[in-house]
Amino acid sequence: MKRRTFIQNSAALTAFAGISSTAFGASQTDAKPSNAAKFKLKYGPGFGSFPELAGKDPIDVIKWCSDQGFRAMFDLGLPNYPIDKQEKVMAELARQNMDMGPFLIHADFSKEAMVLRDPESRELLRKKVLDGVEVFKRTGVKWGLMVPGRFNLHMAWDYQTANVIDNMRELSEIAEKAGLTIVLEPLNKQDHPGLFLTTMPQTYAICRAVNSPACKINDDLYHQQITEGNIITNMETSWSEIASFHIGDTPGRKEPGTGEMNYRNIFKFIHNKGYDGVLCMEHGRSIEGKAGELALLESYRVADNF
């Protein structure tokens, strides 16, 4: 599953299509465990992670996920919900004592959104953040994700970096006054060639230069395994600037345990750091159907057993 496809699906989402997920096989009876022990960390399924087990009604999905021990949900497309559905979803999350992961403020992979000193682009970015502030005020979800867009082929890299910092200072000032946190996400060059932001050190340096509590990092562990590896060391070094996580194993961007990443050790490190935010399950399922959904649930039980 590629990020561009994922974001397009989220943006089109009003029927709560969410993110797909992963699993082994079990009986119909086994498919409906209730009131399971809560996970140590706030893993956030998408509203489409368990369509056969949880159904498609968002309120039912929240209740089912809570019964399985999940303490959060995730959908980049939250701003696209009708306002009444936003309110109903957030009210049910509050009843279940669950959080919601970051929503999408802006990610256009075709434009040089932040690397230029372009008045039109700056005004667009300001409007996107102001719209994100309204989503925050309405829902209480305090993280909004942004991707700086493409790099410029003709401008020196350091000038582009300075422009991104200047843009983010302006946007962070708007967000900070409202209580919203912008999370910048670096993406890998293999899936998304041509983007400006790709590594944890690069994103860390930008956040430090912006120097605002409203400018932080969304650490997508799938992307960073491809880009640079050394996952735990990079988390440790960048920890002061990390506000949220996306999860996915590689290769394949499926559930933990299907690739080369040791998610049990990764989750243990994050837990030991005292992290209390959402880890968004932005990945696919390795097995289709009900068996795959049960395997997805089991994969998180195994990885959370540290």
The pLDDT score that the predictor gives to residue 117 is: 93
Residue type, 228: E
Q: How many CA atoms within 13 Å lie on the side-chain side of 69?
A: 12
Burial 255-292, CB ≥16 within 10 A → b, else e: bbbbbebebeebbbbbeeeebebbbbbbbbbbbeebbb
Q: What is the CATH number of the domain that holds 142?
A: 3.20.20.150
- H or E stretch including 63? helix 58-67
Using one digit for the tens of pLDDT, what is the confidence trace for 205-241? 999 999 999 999 999 999 999 999 999 999 999 999 9
Counting every residue written for the chain, the total comes to 306
The pLDDT score that the predictor gives to residue 36 is: 83
The pLDDT score that the predictor gives to residue 8 is: 43
Token output for 81: 């919900």
Q: Which residues, given as ranges, of the chain have pLDDT below 70?
A: 1-35
- H or E stretch including 290? helix 289-303
User: Position of tokens 């070094």?
Assistant: 237
Residue 275 lies in domain: 3-303
Can you say how many angstroms the Cα of residue 101 is from the centroid of all Cα atoms in its chain? 6
**Helices H / strands E in the chain, number of each:** 11, 9
| Phi-psi category of residue 289: left, alpha or beta, with phi > 0 → left and psi -120 to 50 → alpha | left
CA distance 99 to 94: 8
The pLDDT score that the predictor gives to residue 34 is: 52
Q: Which of 34, 83, 93, 64 is nearest to 278 (CA)?
A: 93
- For 111, the 3-state DSSP assignment is coil
The pLDDT score that the predictor gives to residue 21 is: 33
Token output for 292: 């795959």
Q: Return all residues near 265 (Cβ < 8 A) that are at least 6 apart.
A: 232, 306
User: Position of tokens 């019964």?
Assistant: 67
Q: Which of 162, 128, 131, 160 is nearest to 146 (CA)?
A: 128
The pLDDT score that the predictor gives to residue 15 is: 37
| Phi-psi category of residue 168: left, alpha or beta, with phi > 0 → left and psi -120 to 50 → alpha | alpha
- Into how many domains does the chain fold? 1
